[in-house]
Structure 1
Amino acid sequence: MKPTITTTEYNYITQQVNDLTSAYLAVNDFQVRLAVRAKTIERVTPLLPSDELNTQHFLAGLETDRLSRKAAAKLLELLVPMVDPFPVLSTKKLAKLFRKVKKLKQPEWAGLKRYELTYLGWNDGGNQKKYLVAPYQGRLIGIQGELSPQTVKGVCAICQTIGNVALFLSTTKSSGLGTYTKKGNYICRDSNQCNRQLTDPQALTDFLTVVQPQRKN
């Protein structure tokens, strides 16, 4: 099965299905539930390859009334083979993306659901650092920054969702006089959770534009 769905599209579909199951639990009126279900199917259908058997099974599964969360999770599993996942990066590849980091803490690949990841992010709590690997202008870039130990409730600059965020600051340029310019914003402390909430890739691109180091001319 050829991957045809982006991670952000998969996350959007997941959110729509979760909202549908929540509506089933909260609404008793059959006509209202029917309308919510129709709107959900209308939103997700254009994102799915119509010629795939898994798509047909998935959409047919949504047609049932009172869809449980367990049943919804099984339906979403049908879409995973269609998702173009975040690539696995070797230690050597990561080292090239973070050339100035002498002892780079590696992400825990085994615990990652790559079909949910639009970008890769992991924390080094001992050094109050956060590392990001993300697609930008057709290539993967690596960005390291300082992550504040203080967590607050706020809107994440990447996923645009209210949650537990911390201030991320990266060094974007040096004046050559021993002073540096740092730029950043508040982002989710938990990058895996952030990815699950990320449905608009443009928000990630906008954030990367701000925090990536400036190239020398």
Structure 2
Amino acid sequence: MSTPFIRNHQYNVIKKQSEFLLRTLRTVADRSVLETVRYRAAMTVTEAFSSLTVDQRKMLERISTFETAPDFERHLTELEAFLEPYPPITQKQIEKLFPKNKKLKVPDLQSIDFRFMTYLGWVDVATSRLFIVYPYEGQFIGIEGRLMPTNKKGYCMFCNRHQELAFFSVKTKSAVPDNFSSVGQYVCVDSHACNQSITDTASLEKFILSVRK
């Protein structure tokens, strides 16, 4: 039985290194350069994990041995069995995270492949609000804020992808009673695409913890 140990953002690291290595194999003939790129790809992948068993490390380091696109595709498919999915969550749990929002529109959870999720995010188009639910230390954190399109491209704070951005502004309580301030960042308009690109959770967690209720 496969024991899950790969989180979504780590799987994205493997995907990106696979794509980079394949491009190099197709464009570079120098064997010494190729060997260096192979070594660095394997190192980048294993360094995305804080700890690995001997077997897990060997499995991930196989990326350095592949030659063709089908080899990489097969490897990524095999690794899906080891994906650690987003923790189970229900609509009622999500609603409890946003008690002040009586008309909360929760996405269809049955249609989501939670294996490829780092955070659950969705936009209520009618109110131009972005909702994010993130699992942290055994509990869920929910944040919401206004999403303002910029009609410009840039780098998303969460996934560092160069894409169309929106300004995500979240109200937070200030040190003065009954006063509020706001914290904002530029993020992807498309949370699904963001989840497919994120390779590190540090920036995401720092933002969420800074505005958590």
Compute the TM-score of the two structures, normalised by the length of structure 2: 0.83
Counterpart of 2:78 in structure 1 is: 78
Q: Aligned with 1:51: secondary structure?
A: helix
| Distance in 1 (alpha carbons) for counterparts of 2:35 and 2:5 | 29
Change (3 A) 1:62 1:109: farther
Q: Which amino acid aligns with 1:64?
A: F
Pairing 1:152-163 to 2, within 5 Å after superposition: 152-163=152-163
Please tell me whether residue 190 in structure 1 is matched to residue 190 in structure 2. Answer: yes
How many angstroms apart in 2 are the aligned matches of 1:62 and 1:110? 36
Residue 168 in structure 1 maps to residue 168 in structure 2: yes
Q: Which amino acid aligns with 1:37?
A: R
How far the C-alpha of 1:164 sits from its partner, in A, is 1.6
Matches within 5 A, 1:105-116: 105-116=105-116
Task: Work out the number of aligned pairs and report it.
Answer: 208
Superposition TM-score, scaled by structure 1 size? 0.82
CA gap 1:61/1:105 in 2 versus in 1, 3 angstroms: same
TM-align CA RMSD: 2.5
Q: Secondary structure at the match of 1:126?
A: coil
Cα deviation for residue 92 of structure 1 reads: 0.8
Alignment match, 1:201: 201
**Is there any run of 5+ residues in structure 2 with no aligned partner, and where?**
none
Superposition map of 1:4-19 within 5 A: 4-19=5-20
Amino acid at match of 1:151: N
Change (3 A) 1:97 1:37: same
Cα gap change, 1:19 to 1:49, in 2 (>3 Å) = farther
Q: 1:73–1:151: structure 2 CA closer, same or farther, 3 Å change rule?
A: farther
* 1:63 aligned partner, one-letter code: T
Aligned equivalents of 1:71, 1:126: Cα separation in 2: 45
Confirm or deny that 1:42 pairs with 2:63. no
Distance 1:58 1:208, change over 3 A: closer
Shift of residue 42, structure 1, vs aligned partner: 3.2
In 2: Cα distance, 1:76 partner to 1:6 partner: 13
Between 1:27-36 and 1:184-193, the stretch displaced more is: 27-36
Which amino acid in the other structure matches residue 183 of structure 1? Answer: V
Distance 1:191 1:172 in 2: 22
SS of residue paired to 2:144: strand
Q: Residue 211 and residue 75 in structure 1: after superposition, are their counterparts in 2 closer, same or farther (change >3 A)?
A: same
Moved over 6 A (4+): none
Partner of 2:24: 23
Deviation at 1:45, TM superposition (A): 4.4
